[in-house]
Amino acid sequence: MIRPVLIPREKPLPGGAFLVSIVSILAALLATLLLLYVSGVPPFKAMNEIVMGTFGDWYSLSEVIVKTTPLLICGLAVSLAFTMNIWNIGAEGQLYLGAIGASWVALAFPGLPAWVMIPAMMIGGMLGGLLWALGPALLKAKIQVNEIITTLMLNYVAVHLVEFMVFGPWKDPTSFGFPMTPVFSPAAELPALGTTRVHLGLVIGLALVVLVFFLFKKSRLGFTMRAIGANRSASRLSGMPVSKTIIISLCLSGAVAGLAGMAEVAGIQHRLQPGISPGYGYTAIIVAWLARLNPWAMVVVSFLFGALLVGGELLQITMKVSAHLAMLIQGLVLFFVLAGDFVGRFRVRWIKEEE
Protein backbone atom coordinates (compact mmCIF):
# COMPACT_ATOMS: atom_id res chain seq x y z
CA MET A 1 0.00 0.00 0.00
CA ILE A 2 1.34 3.45 -0.95
CA ARG A 3 0.33 6.52 1.04
CA PRO A 4 1.42 10.18 0.93
CA VAL A 5 3.35 11.75 3.81
CA LEU A 6 3.86 15.51 4.26
CA ILE A 7 7.43 16.50 5.06
CA PRO A 8 8.42 20.08 6.00
CA ARG A 9 10.90 21.60 3.56
CA GLU A 10 14.33 22.32 5.02
CA LYS A 11 14.73 25.31 2.70
CA PRO A 12 11.97 27.52 1.27
CA LEU A 13 11.34 27.43 -2.46
CA PRO A 14 13.44 29.98 -4.44
CA GLY A 15 11.55 33.29 -4.58
CA GLY A 16 8.81 31.59 -2.60
CA ALA A 17 6.70 34.44 -1.17
CA PHE A 18 6.81 36.64 -4.28
CA LEU A 19 6.31 33.71 -6.63
CA VAL A 20 3.33 32.39 -4.67
CA SER A 21 1.62 35.79 -4.79
CA ILE A 22 2.06 36.18 -8.55
CA VAL A 23 1.04 32.61 -9.34
CA SER A 24 -1.98 32.93 -7.01
CA ILE A 25 -3.29 35.98 -8.87
CA LEU A 26 -2.70 34.41 -12.29
CA ALA A 27 -4.32 31.12 -11.25
CA ALA A 28 -7.34 32.97 -9.83
CA LEU A 29 -7.74 34.97 -13.05
CA LEU A 30 -7.43 31.81 -15.15
CA ALA A 31 -10.08 30.06 -13.04
CA THR A 32 -12.33 33.13 -13.37
CA LEU A 33 -11.96 33.14 -17.15
CA LEU A 34 -12.97 29.48 -17.20
CA LEU A 35 -16.02 30.15 -15.01
CA LEU A 36 -17.08 33.08 -17.21
CA TYR A 37 -16.77 30.88 -20.29
CA VAL A 38 -18.83 28.10 -18.73
CA SER A 39 -21.46 30.70 -17.74
CA GLY A 40 -21.78 31.86 -21.33
CA VAL A 41 -19.96 35.17 -20.87
CA PRO A 42 -17.14 35.95 -23.35
CA PRO A 43 -14.20 35.85 -20.91
CA PHE A 44 -11.72 38.03 -22.79
CA LYS A 45 -14.37 40.61 -23.57
CA ALA A 46 -15.22 40.71 -19.87
CA MET A 47 -11.57 41.19 -18.90
CA ASN A 48 -11.22 43.94 -21.49
CA GLU A 49 -14.27 45.65 -19.96
CA ILE A 50 -12.64 45.46 -16.52
CA VAL A 51 -9.31 46.91 -17.73
CA MET A 52 -10.87 49.73 -19.76
CA GLY A 53 -13.49 50.43 -17.12
CA THR A 54 -10.94 50.80 -14.34
CA PHE A 55 -7.92 52.33 -16.08
CA GLY A 56 -9.46 53.78 -19.27
CA ASP A 57 -9.90 57.35 -18.01
CA TRP A 58 -9.18 59.54 -15.01
CA TYR A 59 -12.66 59.19 -13.48
CA SER A 60 -12.47 55.39 -13.56
CA LEU A 61 -9.00 55.46 -12.06
CA SER A 62 -10.19 57.82 -9.34
CA GLU A 63 -12.96 55.39 -8.41
CA VAL A 64 -10.35 52.65 -8.06
CA ILE A 65 -8.42 54.90 -5.67
CA VAL A 66 -11.62 55.51 -3.69
CA LYS A 67 -11.94 51.73 -3.16
CA THR A 68 -8.22 51.42 -2.48
CA THR A 69 -8.33 53.76 0.53
CA PRO A 70 -10.42 51.65 2.98
CA LEU A 71 -8.80 48.42 1.73
CA LEU A 72 -5.33 49.83 2.46
CA ILE A 73 -6.26 51.13 5.92
CA CYS A 74 -8.03 47.89 6.91
CA GLY A 75 -5.18 45.80 5.47
CA LEU A 76 -2.71 47.66 7.65
CA ALA A 77 -5.07 47.23 10.60
CA VAL A 78 -5.27 43.45 10.42
CA SER A 79 -1.52 43.18 9.76
CA LEU A 80 -0.88 44.70 13.20
CA ALA A 81 -2.55 41.67 14.75
CA PHE A 82 -1.51 39.05 12.19
CA THR A 83 2.16 39.83 12.85
CA MET A 84 1.64 38.35 16.31
CA ASN A 85 -0.33 35.39 14.95
CA ILE A 86 -3.43 36.99 16.44
CA TRP A 87 -6.29 36.60 13.98
CA ASN A 88 -8.34 39.77 13.97
CA ILE A 89 -11.28 38.90 11.69
CA GLY A 90 -13.21 41.88 13.06
CA ALA A 91 -11.92 44.76 10.93
CA GLU A 92 -15.35 45.02 9.31
CA GLY A 93 -17.08 45.59 12.64
CA GLN A 94 -14.31 47.88 13.86
CA LEU A 95 -14.75 49.94 10.66
CA TYR A 96 -18.47 50.28 11.45
CA LEU A 97 -17.76 51.33 15.03
CA GLY A 98 -15.21 53.85 13.76
CA ALA A 99 -17.93 55.24 11.53
CA ILE A 100 -20.26 55.53 14.54
CA GLY A 101 -17.59 57.25 16.64
CA ALA A 102 -16.76 59.75 13.89
CA SER A 103 -20.46 60.37 13.18
CA TRP A 104 -21.12 61.11 16.85
CA VAL A 105 -18.50 63.86 16.78
CA ALA A 106 -19.93 65.35 13.56
CA LEU A 107 -23.53 65.26 14.81
CA ALA A 108 -22.87 66.34 18.39
CA PHE A 109 -20.61 69.30 17.55
CA PRO A 110 -21.70 70.62 14.14
CA GLY A 111 -20.31 74.07 14.82
CA LEU A 112 -16.67 73.02 15.14
CA PRO A 113 -14.25 74.44 12.54
CA ALA A 114 -12.71 71.96 10.11
CA TRP A 115 -9.25 72.12 11.69
CA VAL A 116 -10.79 70.87 14.96
CA MET A 117 -13.58 68.71 13.50
CA ILE A 118 -11.45 66.44 11.30
CA PRO A 119 -8.90 65.49 14.02
CA ALA A 120 -11.76 65.03 16.51
CA MET A 121 -13.56 62.71 14.08
CA MET A 122 -10.34 60.76 13.59
CA ILE A 123 -10.00 60.34 17.35
CA GLY A 124 -13.67 59.33 17.58
CA GLY A 125 -13.22 56.78 14.81
CA MET A 126 -10.10 55.31 16.39
CA LEU A 127 -11.74 55.09 19.81
CA GLY A 128 -14.75 53.32 18.30
CA GLY A 129 -12.59 50.69 16.59
CA LEU A 130 -10.34 50.34 19.64
CA LEU A 131 -13.23 49.75 22.04
CA TRP A 132 -14.72 47.15 19.66
CA ALA A 133 -11.40 45.25 19.69
CA LEU A 134 -10.81 45.63 23.42
CA GLY A 135 -13.24 42.91 24.49
CA PRO A 136 -11.75 40.18 22.27
CA ALA A 137 -8.25 41.38 23.26
CA LEU A 138 -8.93 40.99 26.99
CA LEU A 139 -10.64 37.63 26.50
CA LYS A 140 -7.68 36.37 24.44
CA ALA A 141 -5.00 37.70 26.78
CA LYS A 142 -6.61 36.68 30.07
CA ILE A 143 -8.48 33.41 29.45
CA GLN A 144 -7.36 32.38 25.93
CA VAL A 145 -10.77 32.75 24.26
CA ASN A 146 -10.42 32.22 20.50
CA GLU A 147 -10.17 35.69 18.95
CA ILE A 148 -11.36 34.45 15.55
CA ILE A 149 -14.79 33.70 17.01
CA THR A 150 -15.13 36.83 19.14
CA THR A 151 -13.96 39.32 16.50
CA LEU A 152 -16.03 37.67 13.77
CA MET A 153 -19.25 37.60 15.81
CA LEU A 154 -18.87 41.24 16.79
CA ASN A 155 -18.93 42.19 13.10
CA TYR A 156 -22.62 41.33 12.93
CA VAL A 157 -23.36 43.23 16.12
CA ALA A 158 -21.63 46.32 14.70
CA VAL A 159 -23.62 46.23 11.45
CA HIS A 160 -26.90 46.01 13.36
CA LEU A 161 -25.77 48.73 15.78
CA VAL A 162 -25.39 51.11 12.84
CA GLU A 163 -28.85 50.13 11.65
CA PHE A 164 -30.25 50.79 15.14
CA MET A 165 -28.71 54.27 15.19
CA VAL A 166 -29.94 55.32 11.75
CA PHE A 167 -33.42 53.81 12.22
CA GLY A 168 -33.64 55.24 15.74
CA PRO A 169 -31.97 58.08 17.64
CA TRP A 170 -29.92 59.49 14.73
CA LYS A 171 -32.52 59.16 11.99
CA ASP A 172 -32.85 62.24 9.78
CA PRO A 173 -36.45 63.52 10.12
CA THR A 174 -36.24 64.95 6.60
CA SER A 175 -35.08 61.72 4.92
CA PHE A 176 -38.61 60.62 3.86
CA GLY A 177 -38.29 57.50 5.99
CA PHE A 178 -34.91 56.37 4.64
CA PRO A 179 -32.51 55.14 7.37
CA MET A 180 -29.71 57.70 7.52
CA THR A 181 -28.43 60.51 9.71
CA PRO A 182 -28.62 64.17 8.78
CA VAL A 183 -25.89 65.32 6.41
CA PHE A 184 -22.73 66.38 8.23
CA SER A 185 -21.67 70.01 8.28
CA PRO A 186 -19.16 71.01 5.55
CA ALA A 187 -16.44 71.16 8.21
CA ALA A 188 -16.88 67.40 8.77
CA GLU A 189 -16.14 66.49 5.16
CA LEU A 190 -12.66 65.35 4.16
CA PRO A 191 -11.25 67.53 1.34
CA ALA A 192 -11.53 65.90 -2.09
CA LEU A 193 -9.23 66.03 -5.11
CA GLY A 194 -10.88 68.27 -7.70
CA THR A 195 -14.25 66.97 -8.86
CA THR A 196 -13.42 63.33 -8.01
CA ARG A 197 -14.34 61.39 -4.90
CA VAL A 198 -10.67 60.81 -3.99
CA HIS A 199 -10.31 62.36 -0.55
CA LEU A 200 -7.84 63.01 2.25
CA GLY A 201 -8.35 59.47 3.52
CA LEU A 202 -5.83 58.33 0.90
CA VAL A 203 -3.18 60.53 2.50
CA ILE A 204 -4.12 59.11 5.91
CA GLY A 205 -3.68 55.59 4.50
CA LEU A 206 -0.27 56.36 2.99
CA ALA A 207 0.86 57.99 6.24
CA LEU A 208 -0.20 54.85 8.09
CA VAL A 209 1.95 52.77 5.72
CA VAL A 210 5.01 54.71 6.88
CA LEU A 211 4.01 54.53 10.54
CA VAL A 212 3.33 50.79 10.45
CA PHE A 213 6.63 50.16 8.65
CA PHE A 214 8.57 52.02 11.32
CA LEU A 215 6.57 50.32 14.06
CA PHE A 216 7.50 46.88 12.73
CA LYS A 217 11.11 47.61 11.80
CA LYS A 218 12.36 50.34 14.12
CA SER A 219 10.44 50.21 17.41
CA ARG A 220 10.76 48.08 20.50
CA LEU A 221 7.04 47.30 20.41
CA GLY A 222 7.36 46.08 16.82
CA PHE A 223 10.27 43.81 17.73
CA THR A 224 8.27 42.41 20.65
CA MET A 225 5.26 41.77 18.41
CA ARG A 226 7.36 39.96 15.82
CA ALA A 227 9.15 37.89 18.46
CA ILE A 228 5.90 36.82 20.13
CA GLY A 229 4.41 36.01 16.73
CA ALA A 230 7.41 33.80 15.89
CA ASN A 231 7.33 31.85 19.18
CA ARG A 232 4.88 32.81 21.90
CA SER A 233 6.04 30.22 24.43
CA ALA A 234 9.72 31.15 24.13
CA SER A 235 8.83 34.84 24.37
CA ARG A 236 6.89 34.24 27.58
CA LEU A 237 9.79 32.27 29.06
CA SER A 238 12.22 35.05 28.17
CA GLY A 239 10.13 37.55 30.14
CA MET A 240 8.34 39.37 27.33
CA PRO A 241 4.92 40.83 28.30
CA VAL A 242 2.90 38.51 26.07
CA SER A 243 -0.58 39.25 27.45
CA LYS A 244 0.00 42.99 27.48
CA THR A 245 1.32 42.96 23.92
CA ILE A 246 -1.67 40.91 22.71
CA ILE A 247 -4.00 43.56 24.12
CA ILE A 248 -1.96 46.41 22.60
CA SER A 249 -1.72 44.83 19.15
CA LEU A 250 -5.44 44.00 18.90
CA CYS A 251 -6.44 47.44 20.18
CA LEU A 252 -4.08 49.14 17.72
CA SER A 253 -5.53 46.96 14.97
CA GLY A 254 -9.06 48.01 15.93
CA ALA A 255 -8.14 51.68 16.14
CA VAL A 256 -6.65 51.70 12.64
CA ALA A 257 -9.69 49.88 11.23
CA GLY A 258 -11.84 52.52 12.91
CA LEU A 259 -10.01 55.17 10.89
CA ALA A 260 -11.25 53.45 7.73
CA GLY A 261 -14.81 53.91 8.98
CA MET A 262 -14.15 57.57 9.71
CA ALA A 263 -12.73 58.06 6.22
CA GLU A 264 -15.80 56.49 4.62
CA VAL A 265 -18.39 58.64 6.41
CA ALA A 266 -16.34 61.85 6.24
CA GLY A 267 -14.91 61.39 2.76
CA ILE A 268 -17.60 59.52 0.80
CA GLN A 269 -20.99 59.30 2.52
CA HIS A 270 -20.99 62.58 4.48
CA ARG A 271 -23.52 60.93 6.76
CA LEU A 272 -23.98 57.57 8.47
CA GLN A 273 -26.19 55.01 6.75
CA PRO A 274 -26.43 51.20 6.46
CA GLY A 275 -24.07 49.34 4.13
CA ILE A 276 -21.20 51.81 4.33
CA SER A 277 -18.84 48.90 3.64
CA PRO A 278 -19.29 46.19 0.97
CA GLY A 279 -16.95 43.95 2.97
CA TYR A 280 -13.75 46.02 3.07
CA GLY A 281 -12.78 44.49 6.42
CA TYR A 282 -13.02 40.95 5.05
CA THR A 283 -11.25 41.74 1.78
CA ALA A 284 -8.47 43.37 3.80
CA ILE A 285 -7.58 39.94 5.19
CA ILE A 286 -6.76 38.77 1.67
CA VAL A 287 -4.91 42.02 0.97
CA ALA A 288 -2.73 41.59 4.05
CA TRP A 289 -1.87 37.97 3.28
CA LEU A 290 -1.19 38.56 -0.40
CA ALA A 291 1.13 41.43 0.59
CA ARG A 292 2.85 39.14 3.11
CA LEU A 293 2.11 41.73 5.83
CA ASN A 294 4.47 44.16 4.08
CA PRO A 295 3.04 47.70 4.43
CA TRP A 296 4.55 48.89 1.13
CA ALA A 297 3.26 45.89 -0.81
CA MET A 298 -0.21 46.54 0.63
CA VAL A 299 -0.40 49.77 -1.38
CA VAL A 300 -0.10 47.80 -4.63
CA VAL A 301 -2.34 44.91 -3.56
CA SER A 302 -5.04 47.28 -2.25
CA PHE A 303 -4.99 49.12 -5.57
CA LEU A 304 -5.39 45.86 -7.50
CA PHE A 305 -8.30 44.78 -5.34
CA GLY A 306 -9.84 48.24 -5.65
CA ALA A 307 -9.71 47.78 -9.43
CA LEU A 308 -11.29 44.36 -9.01
CA LEU A 309 -14.22 45.80 -7.04
CA VAL A 310 -14.80 48.59 -9.56
CA GLY A 311 -14.48 46.13 -12.46
CA GLY A 312 -16.98 43.75 -10.87
CA GLU A 313 -19.53 46.56 -10.50
CA LEU A 314 -18.95 47.57 -14.12
CA LEU A 315 -19.51 44.05 -15.45
CA GLN A 316 -22.77 43.87 -13.55
CA ILE A 317 -24.00 46.90 -15.53
CA THR A 318 -22.49 46.28 -18.97
CA MET A 319 -22.62 42.49 -19.27
CA LYS A 320 -25.23 41.51 -16.67
CA VAL A 321 -22.62 39.50 -14.78
CA SER A 322 -23.37 38.72 -11.13
CA ALA A 323 -22.28 41.41 -8.69
CA HIS A 324 -20.54 38.67 -6.73
CA LEU A 325 -17.89 38.15 -9.43
CA ALA A 326 -15.36 40.31 -7.57
CA MET A 327 -15.96 38.34 -4.37
CA LEU A 328 -15.51 35.11 -6.32
CA ILE A 329 -12.13 36.24 -7.64
CA GLN A 330 -11.08 37.33 -4.14
CA GLY A 331 -11.98 33.90 -2.79
CA LEU A 332 -10.04 32.18 -5.56
CA VAL A 333 -6.99 34.36 -4.89
CA LEU A 334 -7.10 33.48 -1.19
CA PHE A 335 -7.50 29.78 -2.01
CA PHE A 336 -4.46 29.79 -4.29
CA VAL A 337 -2.41 31.84 -1.80
CA LEU A 338 -3.10 29.28 0.92
CA ALA A 339 -2.38 26.42 -1.48
CA GLY A 340 0.88 28.09 -2.52
CA ASP A 341 1.90 28.57 1.11
CA PHE A 342 1.26 24.89 1.73
CA VAL A 343 3.37 23.84 -1.25
CA GLY A 344 6.13 26.22 -0.16
CA ARG A 345 6.30 24.75 3.35
CA PHE A 346 5.76 21.05 2.67
CA ARG A 347 6.62 18.45 0.10
CA VAL A 348 4.88 15.14 -0.49
CA ARG A 349 6.74 11.84 -0.20
CA TRP A 350 5.05 8.61 -1.21
CA ILE A 351 5.80 5.78 1.20
CA LYS A 352 5.17 2.15 0.49
CA GLU A 353 3.89 0.24 3.49
CA GLU A 354 3.97 -3.46 4.06
CA GLU A 355 0.49 -4.99 4.09
List, for residues 39-50, the tens digit of each pLDDT value: 788 888 888 888
3-state secondary structure 108-137: HCCCCCHHHHHHHHHHHHHHHHHHHHHHHH
Q: Which of 15-29, 89-103, 117-131, 302-316 has the lowest mean pLDDT?
A: 15-29
Nearest to 28 by CA among 311, 308, 346: 308
Q: Distance between CA atoms of 270 and 292, rounded to whole angstroms?
A: 33
DSSP string for 5-21: EEEE-SSPPTTHHHHHH
Q: Over the stretch 193-247, which tens digit does the pLDDT of each residue have?
A: 888 999 999 999 999 999 999 999 989 999 999 999 988 989 888 889 999 999 9
DSSP character at residue 179: S
Work out how many domains the chain is built from and give that number. Answer: 1
Coil, strand or helix at 154: helix
Angle between the N-to-C axes of helices 325-345 and 280-290, in degrees from 0 to 180, rounded to the nearest 10:
30
Residue 133 lies in a domain: yes
pLDDT in the model for residue 166:
95
Residue 236 lies in a domain: yes
pTM > 0.85: yes or no: yes
pLDDT in the model for residue 335:
80
| Alpha-carbon distances of 53 from 47, 210, 273, 317, 320, rounded to whole Å | 10, 31, 27, 11, 15
Residue 329 lies in a domain: no
pLDDT in the model for residue 27:
81
Q: Which residue has the higher pLDDT, 41 or 18?
A: 41
- Structural contact between residues 201 and 208, judged by C-beta atoms closer than 8 angstroms: no
Residue 148 lies in a domain: yes
Residue 277 has pLDDT above 60, yes or no: yes
Q: Where does the pLDDT of residue 139 fall: very low under 50, low under 70, confident under 90, or very high at 90 and above? A: very high
- For 303, phi and psi rounded to 5 degrees? -65, -45
Number of Cβ within a 10 Å radius of residue 114: 14
Residue 35 has pLDDT above 90, yes or no: no
Residue 270 lies in a domain: yes
Residue 58 lies in a domain: no
Q: Distance between CA atoms of 170 and 99, rounded to whole angstroms?
A: 13
Domain of 102 in residue numbering reads as 69-291
- Structural contact between residues 159 and 96, judged by C-beta atoms closer than 8 angstroms: yes
Residue 18 has pLDDT above 70, yes or no: no
Average pLDDT over all residues of the chain: 89
Number of Cβ within a 10 Å radius of residue 66: 22
Residue 301 lies in a domain: no
Residue 239 lies in a domain: yes
